[in-house]
């Protein structure tokens, strides 16, 4: 019988349910079980593609092209698996399906009601994802916080599953234990309320993971155990730590996998988590600092900086850093300011590498082009991603080919030199205002040209990478770009679509950009070729700068 573990959050959002879910998956995987993970988002949006990244964080594109939540990226990275779209659902998607089924008379004339039909649809989806993955243990993270109205129907689905399969379903409550500065003591009451609110939905937590600045002491573990109805051994301490990748190892200090295995009545051998441990050790022992700038625009929310919009890029930088023994420092660059104050471009000189990530629309675009121009001419290692690649082509066309005001038609529909233009199959979607899930999405194959940077780092001729775009390099400019030195080192199999551009290594230490999103496939053990290349070049730059100093 397959087993299910639901992960829910108490007290407040942002306590790390995604990392907790991924880490529980990791420790169970290390015990030899086949794991899959599902994310439930309570939004009405059918997928995450139509949400602004500053609202919801990065849009993580799955292999099959589905646009989902960043937590899916965490699951893939921790578990080293590719997940299908069956593993992601939103309120919108569930309702849409129930309504479709009702219209198709699939309920045989019954009155279709919120309860039980919505929870039943949710259960159906969970079971389908389990079957597809042939998983021994399926983790299901329910988004939102206990006590809010939005996730009630998902909790109801979880409760119904527990009633049906009492020995195969567990609940993990991830809670927060504040230490108010003035009081100076860790407080358990909010967690007690969260556990009680969960009980009022008919669910008893089996485990309580207590997130806090510091480890939970014995006294507070006893208190939580007593007032939340759990065994003291099942109160797991999850203090803030340096790296998210250490969380699985930390859980094992409290013997979490043993406890879960025991409760689910499973048997397993000893954990095999050596490789992961040595990755964490490499991360922690890395000494040499490199400064990697990310020139984006989706970071400010009110007075705060939100790095969630670029989470996969940040993680990919860390993975590649670990490979070369580096401690990367991310520097957020608001490219818009270069437009008003071109002198401030000088700050790029202080970087060891520059990333211009994906994006949409006109805000900050000229600043990004200026930043790319600086990196190209001053020989600063550069990686452009999607929009970043398109802007690298625009910059090259303007400043090397001399095509004044060359642009993408996304910004300037009437430009005389549309070096980046809409993909033919995308034209209709735009004119119909059909924006949801209609871009060129998901995995496509590409051919790699030999004797290029791309070939040197991929070490193969055929790659598969994930996409999310409507525009492409305009085929009618390729000849001219090539003649003036731009190398198209990766193309679609029919050679129509340019997937990777680069400059010769004789001209620049590392200048490469891809139409796809390499960050989506970077994994902790080994990193991604394009990021590995960037970090290696950044290491060289940082070493040579130190030599000069």
For the chain, state the CA radius of gyration.
Answer: 25
CB of 340 to ligand GLN, least distance (A): 23
DSSP H helices, 324-386, are 336-340, 365-377
- A 10 A CB-CB count for 182 gives 5
| Residue nearer to ligand GLN on the CB measure, 398 or 469 | 469
End-to-end CA distance of the chain: 64
How many CA atoms lie within 13 Å of 204's alpha carbon, on the beta-carbon side? 10
| Residue nearer to ligand GLN on the CB measure, 178 or 442 | 442
The verdict on whether 517 is a catalytic residue reads yes
Q: Which of 141, 519, 528, 536 is catalytic?
A: 519
CB of 527 to ligand GLN, least distance (A): 21
- DSSP designation for 307: G
Residue number with the smallest Cβ distance to ligand GLN:
358
| Residue nearer to ligand GLN on the CB measure, 271 or 520 | 520
| Residue nearer to ligand GLN on the CB measure, 73 or 359 | 359
The verdict on whether 519 is a catalytic residue reads yes
Q: Which of 117, 319, 407, 517 is catalytic?
A: 517
Relative to beta strand 418-422, strand 471-473 is antiparallel
Whether a cis peptide bond, with omega within 30° of 0, leads into 348 is no
| Residue nearer to ligand GLN on the CB measure, 359 or 524 | 359
Residue (of 542, 478, 484, 487) closest to 513 by Cα position:
487
Positions touching ligand GLN (CB under 6 A) are 358-360, 386-387, 410, 468-471
CB of 391 to ligand GLN, least distance (A): 9
Work out the burial of residue 51: count CB atoms within 10 Å of its CB; fewer than 13 is exposed, 13-18 middle, 19 or more buried: middle
CB of 356 to ligand GLN, least distance (A): 10
Cα dist. 159→75, 89, 155, 306 in Å?
24, 18, 6, 34
CA–CA dist 354, 357 (Å, integer): 10
Contact indicator for 37, 138 with CB cutoff of 8 Å: yes
CB of 54 to ligand GLN, least distance (A): 15
In sequence order, the 6+-apart residues with CB closer than 8 A to the CB of 398 are 369, 404, 405, 406
CB of 468 to ligand GLN, least distance (A): 5
| Residue nearer to ligand GLN on the CB measure, 207 or 360 | 360
**CA 251 to chain CA mean position, Å:** 22
SS (H, E, C) 512-534: EEECCCHHHHCCCCCCCHHHHHH
Specify the length of the chain in residues. 549
Q: What six digits make up the tokens of 176?
A: 């927060």
CB of 113 to ligand GLN, least distance (A): 40
| Residue nearer to ligand GLN on the CB measure, 470 or 508 | 470
| Residue nearer to ligand GLN on the CB measure, 135 or 386 | 386
**Partners of 7 in beta bridges:** 141, 172
CB of 69 to ligand GLN, least distance (A): 16
Q: Which of 252, 386, 508, 528 is catalytic?
A: 386
Active-site residue set: 386, 517, 519
């Amino acid at each position: 019988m397959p087993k299910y573990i639901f992960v829910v959050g108490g007290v407040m959002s942002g306590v790390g349910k995604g990392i907790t879910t991924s880490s529980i998956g990791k420790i169970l995987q290390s015990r030899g079980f086949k794991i899959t993970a599902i994310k439930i988002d309570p939004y009405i949006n059918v997928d995450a593609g139509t949400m602004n990244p500053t609202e919801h964080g990065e849009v993580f594109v799955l292999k099959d092209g589905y646009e989902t939540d960043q937590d899916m990226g965490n699951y893939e990275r921790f578990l080293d698996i590719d997940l299908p779209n069956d593993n992601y659902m939103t309120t919108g998607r569930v309702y849409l399906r129930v309504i479709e089924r009702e219209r198709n008379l699939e309920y045989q004339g019954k009155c279709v009601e919120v309860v039980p039909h919505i929870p039943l649809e949710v259960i159906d989806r969970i079971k389908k994802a389990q079957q597809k993955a042939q998983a021994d243990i399926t983790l299901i993270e329910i988004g939102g916080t206990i006590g809010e109205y939005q996730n009630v129907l998902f909790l109801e689905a979880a409760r119904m599953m527990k009633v049906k399969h009492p020995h195969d379903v567990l609940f993990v409550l991830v809670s927060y234990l504040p230490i108010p500065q003035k009081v100076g003591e860790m407080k358990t009451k909010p967690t007690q309320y969260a556990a009680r609110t969960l009980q009022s939905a008919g669910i008893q937590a089996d485990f309580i993971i207590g997130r806090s600045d510091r480890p939970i002491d014995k006294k507070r573990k006893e208190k939580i155990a007593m007032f939340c109805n759990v065994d003291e051994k099942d109160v797991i301490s999850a203090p803030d730590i340096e790296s998210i990748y250490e969380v699985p190892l930390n859980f094992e200090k409290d013997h979490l996998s043993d406890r879960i295995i025991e409760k689910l009545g499973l048997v397993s051998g000893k954990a095999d988590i050596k490789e992961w441990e040595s990755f964490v050790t490499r991360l922690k022992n890395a000494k040499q600092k490199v400064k990697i700038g990310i020139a984006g625009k989706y970071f400010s929310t009110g007075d705060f900086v939100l790095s969630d919009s670029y989470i996969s890029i940040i993680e990919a930088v860390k993975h590649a850093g670990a490979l070369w023994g580096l401690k990367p420092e991310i520097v957020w660059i608001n490219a818009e300011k270069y437009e008003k104050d071109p002198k401030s471009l000088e700050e790029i000189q202080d970087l060891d590498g520059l990333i211009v990530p994906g994006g949409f629309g006109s805000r900050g675009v000229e600043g990004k082009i200026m930043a790319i121009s600086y990196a190209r001419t001053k020989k600063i290692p550069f990686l452009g991603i999607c929009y970043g690649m398109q802007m690298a082509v625009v910059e090259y066309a303007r400043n090397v080919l001399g095509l004044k005001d060359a642009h993408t038609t996304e910004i300037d529909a009437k430009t005389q030199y549309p070096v980046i233009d809409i993909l033919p199959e995308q034209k209709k979607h735009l004119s119909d205002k059909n924006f949801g899930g209609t871009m060129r999405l998901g995995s496509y194959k590409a051919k790699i040209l030999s004797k290029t940077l791309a070939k040197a780092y991929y070490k193969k001729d055929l790659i598969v990478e994930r996409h999310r775009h409507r525009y492409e390099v305009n085929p009618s400019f390729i000849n001219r770009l090539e003649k003036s030195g731009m190398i198209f080192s990766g193309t679609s199999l029919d050679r129509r679509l340019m997937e990777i551009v680069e400059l010769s290594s004789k001209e620049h230490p590392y200048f490469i950009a891809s139409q796809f999103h390499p960050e989506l496939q970077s994994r902790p053990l080994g990193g991604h070729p394009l990021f590995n290349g960037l970090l290696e070049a950044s290491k060289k730059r940082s070493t040579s700068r130190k030599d000069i100093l």
